[in-house]
Amino acid sequence: MSLVLHHQDLSKLITELSEKWPVYGPKKERNEHEVRLELLTSAKNLSLNNSSSIVPPKKFLFPAKEVLILFEKNKLKKPAQTELILLGLNRKDAEGLFCLDKLMTTPLLDDHYAEKREKVHLIVIDSLAPSNNLNCDLYLQRVDQEHYLVFPFGGFGGKIAKSKLFSHDGDVGTISTRHLPDNVIYHPRLDEIVENSRDHPVWDRLAETCFNCGICSYVCPLCYCYETEDNFEITSNIEKDCKGCRNRAWDSCMLPDFNKVTFHNFRPKMKDRIYNWYYHKFVRMPREYGFPGCNGCGRCITACPAKINYREVLKELIKDEQK
Ligand code: SF4
Ligand code: SF4
């Protein structure tokens, strides 16, 4: 007997959960193509058609700008974290968060991220079966227009699955939606090909087109570079009145100042910064973590003002290497 949720009860589930926690999810905006991760009160406008929000779910764990520590006199204080549910992420986005969890916790633990992560619970909705690369609490697999198969994970998922909205409804079956492997990102020799492409003309060409804007990093669910800044008030009695905060904000290795160390910029050329973006994602990360720094979500392609498509770049490198 499978645990099942009826599609008509999805709104009731959101209402039920909202009584205890804020529930966020992908919502359709004015036009069908614009999806944002917003507060939900019902399933109205919930986007479940696999289209991802342009700002990725990392914003709940590693926001564009955040306060890390507040300090006053000689006391340090951390801002309180809110417990929340992220509902309706597709499997790809959930796998992206799984990778980000690894990046932010190994080999060094980002304790600020880890504290937030404990408070963010995931409910994934997708037509594909759950994979092993998910840190989610509940997985709803859409098997037809009417039903979701329910897979709870861990204590929090088990607690949610006790709701009367879920039923042991007999055999609704599963659909066999095949997950096709991405033969570009997972090309077996991609790391070697990118590593050896340093003198390929594509990097000069991209350097002429790219705006240096960093948007491709900001929208990427797996980019995690940041800068920190201390802000404090200087008063005449600094010991008595000193107060301020340490902030962090997204940064991008595409930006000219990212590579500045005191008076020296160790990657002043755009061409080198672009190569480094690809090198980190497709050479270093597969070797260091066992997965590429890309889950194929396509956000950087949609958002790039210069219409640069990293897949076309990789395909060109693969093709030229075969010649
Ligand atoms: S497609 Fe682009 S935005 Fe998405 S994970 Fe890959 S590099 Fe990042
Ligand atoms: S989004 Fe496009 S234009 Fe902007 S830095 Fe990235 S590749 Fe260059």
Distance 18 CA to ligand 1 centre (A): 31
197 and 295 assigned to the same domain: yes
Does ligand 2 lie within 6 Å of residue 215's CB atom?
yes
Contact, 219 vs 94, CB < 8 A? Answer: no
> Which pLDDT band, with edges at 50, 70 and 90, does 1 fall under?
confident
User: Closest Cα to atom 2, ligand 1: which residue?
Assistant: 300
Separation CA 275–CA 242 (nearest Å): 44
Average pLDDT of the residues in 286-314: 96
The predicted structure's pLDDT at residue 242: 78
155 and 199 assigned to the same domain: no
15 and 164 assigned to the same domain: yes
Does ligand 2 lie within 6 Å of residue 214's CB atom?
yes
> Residue 252: pLDDT above 80?
yes
Tokens of 162: 């006790």
Unique residue bearing structure tokens 């904000």: 249
Distance 34 CA to ligand 1 centre (A): 18
In tens, the pLDDT along 8-47 reads 999 999 999 999 999 999 998 766 678 899 999 888 888 8
Mapped onto helix, strand or coil, the DSSP state of residue 126 is strand
How many domains is the chain partitioned into structurally?
2
Q: What is the position in ligand 1's atom list of the atom closest to the CA of 301?
A: 2
In tens, the pLDDT along 223-240 reads 999 999 999 877 777 667
Does ligand 2 lie within 6 Å of residue 172's CB atom?
no
Which residues have any ligand 1 atom within 6 Å of their CB? 219-222, 294-300, 310
Decide if 231 is inside a domain.
no
Separation CA 136–CA 151 (nearest Å): 10
**Nearest Cα to Cα of residue 216 among 183, 254, 262, 178:** 254
Does ligand 2 lie within 6 Å of residue 308's CB atom?
yes
CB atoms within 10 A of CB 100: 24
Distance 181 CA to ligand 2 centre (A): 26
Boundaries of domain holding 59: 3-66+76-168
289 and 159 assigned to the same domain: no
Give just the sign of the alpha carbon dihedral 123, 125, 130, 131: negative
Does ligand 2 lie within 6 Å of residue 216's CB atom?
yes
Distance 299 CA to ligand 2 centre (A): 12
216 and 161 assigned to the same domain: no
